[in-house]
């Protein structure tokens, strides 16, 4: 058994940054309700508003547009449920969206091409068929393959058809530069723990033109858009992580270099290996590798035994490993249960990536050797 573990599962959750840990501890030690008008309450309110400015800066938005939530899932569902007042709107979502979008309600799925990019021609047809209020939900970067979607182009199509646009930017934040105005979206979801903040806190960025209807009601917190006493320690840590992530954006290119070398070695070692989404633009930290004949679960377990932590696609199903709906939508259903996701981040090093291919290929060789071994009589 390895004495140390290499963590390459940042798309599931990133390690807590020191800056975020310090902000979390400091805010947790303070007292007061941020809605109170006394000195303690005002101090808590200041911490929230400071973090609101920091998160807004990461998203290229205004502080007043930030609504803090319990995480990316709530941010997505607040967007889908609150974008329109009155009866639910028609939801159009890409076929590769996160489960928190696809499970939120009935949706018309826009197909993607084999490279993982949304089919804009098909999207335009779906938008033209909408007769009433319509919301398009399109992620900025896929959580399994890292493929970056043409959100600005899709948003332009949607707006011409009179639709609003929600963008799940949870995986993209801190890995590519965000600019809400340039993307042209009306709602943008973020999550703290993907970029080195704590779990349990996220944000929905809401354009001024959207009259968001609260889904959690009761108090007047978050300007009436999300009731409940704010998670001040989590929010403060989110702000600190946002500042740190924004300051490192000029360094993420090194992750792409290490990722690309990993993929070259994998393809050189196994001619039947597949790199999903490699033909399109991708996040610099993400690689989705497929190995026919070897299940995702087997690969993850073998790498874990070798001291490397990766995942089998999305890690939001209570530890269950299931075939990837993303790879199925990309036209590779035969490999949907044979892929792993490797993802690095702020604390990974070049050495962390170096041993992965060797361990990955060794797992396949062991599997092949067991299949070729002659059966023992009587066993």
Q: Give me the active site residues, please.
A: 316
Q: What is the DSSP string of 95-154?
A: TT--HHHHTSS--EEEPB-TTS-B-HHHHHHHHHT--S-EEEE--SB-TTT-BBP-HHHH
Q: How far apart are CA 253 and CA 275, in angstroms?
A: 19
- Work out the angle at residue 175's Cα, subtended by the Cα atoms of residues 172 and 178, and round it to the nearest 5 degrees: 60
Neighbours of 320 (CB within 10 A): 9
Which residues lie below 8 Å from residue 226, measured CB to CB, with a gap of 6+? Answer: 67, 68, 69, 78, 214, 215, 216
| Order of strands across the sheet that contains 134-137 | 66-69, 202-206, 187-191, 164-168, 134-137, 90-94, 108-110
| Order of strands across the sheet that contains 274-275 | 274-275, 286-290, 339-343
166 beta partners = 137, 187
Nearest Cα to Cα of residue 189 among 291, 101, 103: 101
Evaluate whether 212 touches 222 at the Cβ level (below 8 Å).
no
| Dihedrals phi, psi of 175, to nearest 5 degrees | -115, -25
| Dihedrals phi, psi of 327, to nearest 5 degrees | -70, -35
């Amino acid at each position: 058994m390895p004495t140390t573990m290499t963590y390459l599962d940042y798309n599931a959750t990133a390690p807590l940054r020191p800056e975020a840990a310090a902000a979390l501890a400091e805010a947790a030690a303070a007292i007061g309700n941020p809605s109170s008008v006394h000195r303690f309450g005002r101090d808590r309110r200041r911490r929230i508003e400071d973090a609101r400015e920091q998160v807004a800066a990461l998203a290229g938005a205004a502080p007043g547009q930030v609504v803090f939530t319990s995480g990316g899932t709530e941010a997505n569902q607040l967007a889908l449920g609150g974008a329109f007042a009155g009866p639910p709107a028609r939801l159009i979502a890409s076929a590769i969206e996160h489960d928190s979008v696809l499970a939120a309600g009935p949706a018309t799925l826009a197909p993607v091409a084999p490279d993982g990019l949304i089919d804009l021609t098909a999207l335009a047809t779906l938008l033209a068929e909408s007769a009433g209020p319509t919301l398009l939900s399109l992620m900025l970067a896929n959580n399994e393959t890292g493929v970056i979607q043409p959100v600005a182009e899709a948003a332009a199509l949607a707006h011409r058809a009179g639709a609003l646009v929600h963008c799940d930017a949870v995986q993209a934040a801190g890995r590519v530069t965000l600019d809400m105005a340039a993307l042209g979206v009306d709602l943008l979801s973020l999550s703290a723990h993907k970029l080195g903040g704590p779990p349990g806190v996220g944000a929905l960025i809401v354009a001024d033109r959207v009259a968001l209807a609260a889904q959690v009601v009761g108090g007047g917190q978050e300007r009436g858009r999300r009731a409940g006493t704010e998670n001040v320690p989590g929010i403060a840590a989110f702000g600190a992580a946002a500042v740190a992530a924004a300051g490192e954006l000029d360094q993420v290119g090194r992750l792409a270099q290490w990722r690309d070398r990993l993929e070259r070695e994998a393809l050189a070692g196994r001619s039947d290996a597949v790199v999903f989404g490699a033909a399109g633009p991708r996040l610099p930290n993400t690689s989705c590798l497929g190995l026919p004949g070897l299940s995702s679960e087997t690969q993850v377990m073998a790498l874990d035994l070798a001291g490397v932590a990766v995942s089998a696609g999305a890690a939001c199903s209570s530890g269950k490993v299931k075939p990837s709906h993303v790879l199925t939508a990309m036209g590779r259903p035969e490999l949907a249960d044979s892929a792993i996701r490797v993802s690095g981040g702020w604390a990974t090093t070049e050495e962390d990536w170096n041993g992965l291919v060797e361990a990955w290929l060794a797992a396949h060789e062991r599997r092949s050797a067991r299949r070729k071994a002659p059966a023992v009589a009587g066993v």
